[in-house]
Structure 1
C-alpha cells in the first residue's frame, strides 16, 4: 500500500488542519459570493427604479448599462460581464431567495446554486419554486453538484406544470449544430438535439473506439471519437430525412421507465436516460419496444428503495442489481456512471469476503485504485450505504441515489 499509508500522527494532524482550513475557506467564499449577488441584485433594482422614476421603463436597459459600466470600471471587468452577472443575481435573489439564503449561510456552494437554478428554469409560479427549493435544498447540502444535477432535475420535473412531452416538442424546434472557432487552427462543432439521439451517437462512436483500442490502435478514445465522427459525416451519405431516427440507435443506452409511464398514466414520473436526464414518454416507449432485453427493477411501494433486479433469462444478476441501485461510482461525491465502474469486494474475497450485494460496490477506476492503494478504506453499513474513512479519520457516508419510481401514501401515489 502507498499513497500516505505510512504518515505519522503528526502528519495526519497537519493534513486534518489543512482539510479544515480548506473547508472553512470554501464556506467563506460561498458566503461572500452570495453577498456579492445580493449587492448586484440591489444594483439592478436601483437601475430599474431610477429609469422608471425619471424617463420611463423604455430606458431601463440604458440605465442598467450605466450602472454596469460603473461597477465594471471599478473592478476592471467588462460592463457586459457585469450586466450579465447583475441579471443572474437578480434572478437568484428575487425568484429563489431560499437558495440565496442557503448559500449566504455557507450551507451550499455557488456551484450547487447554479445546478438548482438550471433545473428550475421553467418554474414560473412562485409557490412551485418555493416547493421545489424546500425539497431540493436538503439534497444540495449533502451531495456534490454533479450528483445533485439529476436529483434537482427529477424534483423540478415533478413540480413542472407543463408535461415533458409538451416541452420536448417545443425544444425540438431549437435543435441545431454550430461551429465555434478556437486558437491553433482548431474549432468546436456543437450539436443540440434530443437527448436519446445525442447519447446514442456518442455511445456508438465510443463503442467503436473501444473496439479499435482493443485491436491495438494507439489513439486516445477522445481522438477516436472525433476521427470516427469525421469519417462517418464526411464520407457517408447524408439523407436529412424526417423519419424516426430512434430506429437507428444501436448503442448501449440505458433507459429507466416506471411501468406506470409505459402504461400512459398522466401522473407518472418521466423516464430517465442513462441516469442523466429525463426524456419524454413517447421516446421511452419507442426505445423500450425495440429493446432486446429488459432489466426489471423492483422498488418498495412506500419507501421507493430498490428491492431487487431480475430478468426473464437471468445472467450477471448482481451486477445488474448494483448498477440499477447505485447509478454511479460509490465514492462520496463521484458521479461517474455505474456502467463504466469496476465491481469491488468490500471485504476481499481472499480474506473471506462473500460475493453478494452486501459485500460489493461499484467504483470508477480512479476510486478503485484509491481504495486499494491509499489509507482510504470503505465499510458496508447496510441498506446499500457505504462508509468511507479518510486518512485523517473522517467518515463520509455515501447512500444509493433515490430510484426513479412511484411511492404510495395514504392519499395518493407520490413520485420521488
Structure 2
C-alpha cells in the first residue's frame, strides 16, 4: 500500500468558490483530481487547469471581471503579499493586480495534507538535527514541511511552533488545519515581520522545534541562526533549488555557513596545491542537514552540510544520498557523488569543449573528479561515498587509476593526463589512491 493513500485536500471547498461553468468542467475532466495543482484565471484569457503532467483549458469563454469578483467575494481578504485563503483549508489564492490595484488575475492553488510523505526523511527528522528543504515551486516543500511538523508534535511528542507567514502551512483563518496535528501556529501580520515573529516564538513559547516556510531575506537568515544557537531544532524551506545555488546566494548563504575569501601563505598554498586566494566556509551552518526535493517521491540528502560545503569549496563532488519512494511506499536509498553545477562564483567553470566535463579555477579540478560526461547534473549511481570517479571512458579500456601526487606539480600532471588521454584522476587523500607518484 502506498504511503500516499491518506490525502486531505477539501477540494470541494475550493471548487465551490469558482464560477459554476469552471467548476463543472473540472469535475467532468477525466484527469485524476489528485493531480490538480492549480487553477489560473486571467482577465481576457481562457481559464486554465494545471495538473502534474499537463495543462488544460476549462472553457472557450474568456475570463471576465465578474468571474474574478465572484471568486474574491467567496474567499478571505488578501494580505500585503497578495495571498488569501479559505478558512480551515490549505488552499491558497494569489492575486495579480494592475497599476491601479485592481485584481485582474488569480492563481488558485490546491493545498493538500498528505499523510506519510515524511517517511522519505523520517530518520533525519527523528535525530533532532535542523533540516533545510530546497526545491522548485510545486515539488511539495510545504506539504513535506507540514507533515514533518505533525509527526514531530504528535508522534515524537515535541513542542512545535510553526511561524506561518502566509497561512500556507496551517491554513487560513484563526483555527489551524488538522494537518499540523498538535503543533501550534503563530501568524505573521506582514511578511516583512517574519524574522521578528521567529524570535518571539522562541522567547515567549518555549518550543523544542521551530518550523518556518520560505526563508528569503538576510534578516530571516540571521534570525534562523539565532534560533539554532539557542539549541532549538529548525525545520524550514528556503528559496533555491540546490546546495550550489544556495552557496552563491549572498542573502542566504549564511544558512550553510557563508563563504569568505582567504589568502594563504606561500608554503600553505604549495602544500595544498592551490592558488594563494581560496574560498572557505565562514561559520558553522545554521542547518545540519539539507534536502533537495526533486519530486514528490525523490530527494537528494546531504546529512552533513558542513562537510558538503567544504568539499564543494575544495572543488570536490560532495557525497550525498539519493532517496526515492516506489509505488508501494518503500524508500530506496542510494549513495552517490553529486556532480556540481557550473559556478564561477565558487571558483569553478565547466569546459564547453568537454561537454561539461572538467572543472577549472581555484583548484583546477584537483578534488578527486576526473572527466565527466552528461552535463553538470549527472549523478554516479550505486557508488559509495568514498569511492573515486567512474571510468572516464577515454584512452584505454582499463580501470581508472586514482593518483596521489607527492612533490609533483598537480597542474602539469593534470595536463599530461588530458593530453595522453590516460584513464586516471588525481585524488587529494592517499587513502583513496591506487598509486602514488613522487620525485622524492
TM-score (normalizing by structure 1): 0.28
Question: In proportion to residue count, which structure has more strand?
Answer: 2
Instruction: Name the TM-score, length of structure 2 as normaliser.
Output: 0.27
Relative to its length, the structure with more helix (as a share) is 1
